[in-house]
Amino acid sequence: MAGNLLVGQSGGPTAVINASLAGVVQMALSSSQIAGVYGAVHGLLGVLNEDLVDLRQEGEQTLALLRTTPGAALGTSRLKLKAGHYKRLLDVFQAHDIRYFAYIGGNDSMDTAHQVGRLARDRGYELHVLGIPKTVDNDLAHTDHCPGYGSAARFVATTVRDTGLDSWAGALSTPVKIVEIMGRHAGWLAAAAALAREGIPDGAPHLIYLPEHPITVESFVSDVERAYKRYGYVVVALSEGVRDPSGAFVCTATATQDAFGHRQLGGASAILAQEVRNRLGLKARFEKPDTMQRSSAALASSVDRAEALLVGQAAVHAMLAGASDKMVTLEREPGPAYRCGTGLVELSAVAGVEKLMPAAFLAADGHDVTAAFLEYARPLIGEPLPAVAILRRQPVVRRLPACAAPK
């Protein structure tokens, strides 16, 4: 079917979301079935405002640089479609003869793409809709992993590794550090901190807490106390969405919500750091990399970037073959070497479903992950983290009597 293609980006940007955009544009420009290649500025909000741009007018160098550019080049939004939006949406599609619609986003975006496809069918308007996965939370169902996760995981592993070395050096002044990592309901990203330990004996993080395994303040403080006695300092990787046994967030929740009803979380690390200070008398601080976790192009995974490009290309290929109301998936191939291809899944099977960490990835003690998770996550961050030096610190024989400890 001849017609124009429209691509949009939605939700939180990632370090590789523009690689998926580049894949869509590249494939669309090479197709004789697609005449115009348009971008929606700020997702469906741009469609409603008829704020579209002609991506055919972008130069080859610009399109090539998209693959390594962080953020969302078209701009995103978190618009939740309402009844009054539907007619306007299809009117814009018809006015510009949009017959192919690719939407790059996470869970809520896949639901939105599904609604758009159903709307077009109800009106009898032929429109091929494909969802392209994107989320650092890695919580989309029916895909081995999500573009964006590998790069954010590499950032988390690198940051926790480096701040762990910093904490070890300054353990005498600040012995406890809590790093708060994104993840409202699923702990995939905080779990990636475990990759920081590789090559560093007894390295950080010493404790990992995920939403899938409830904790109490008492058990947390007790864990920190034991780790401090063992290592002399403690670095904690803490998911922002960690919960207590009743299911309530340990963190405070603000009064604000996004368009999809998600409360904006924050404060878990601050609360728990204060509890450590109060109950153990240890100086504790907290760190919140926040949006830096998802936006760091400098620490992007080469594997993640290549797969983000791949799913964009696969989406256009599938639409041209007649597919619609599907999301592109990443399918890990069996075998010792990491290889990954693509597949398709119904959008209805993805919309509204969150993929949590499976029990096989959660350590029984409640504050770590298993070797199975490390095997899963290790190839997604690309090349191994740069090696660091661990001094032997061979002691020199003391020649003087011991002095009083400095105060």
CA–centroid distance for 281 within its chain? 35
Phi-psi region of 334 (alpha: psi -120 to 50; beta: other; left: phi over 0): beta
d(C-alpha 36, C-alpha 55), whole Å? 8
Q: Is 290 a catalytic residue?
A: no
328-335 contacts: CB < 8 A, separation 24 or more? 328/130, 328/131, 328/132, 328/133, 329/133, 329/142, 329/143, 329/144, 330/133, 330/143, 330/144, 330/145, 330/146, 330/147, 331/143, 331/144, 332/144, 332/145
Catalytic residue among 137, 304, 325, 368: 137
Q: For residue 73, which of 37, 110, 20, 36 has the smallest C-alpha distance?
A: 20
Contact 355, 141 (CB under 8 A): yes
The angle subtended at Cα 165 by Cα 387 and Cα 189, nearest 5°, is: 80
Preceding amide of 13 cis, omega within 30: no
Strand 52-54 to 284-287 pairing: unpaired
Contact 8, 46 (CB under 8 A): yes
d(C-alpha 258, C-alpha 306), whole Å? 31
Phi-psi region of 275 (alpha: psi -120 to 50; beta: other; left: phi over 0): alpha
Residue type, 349: A
| Catalytic (active-site) positions | 137
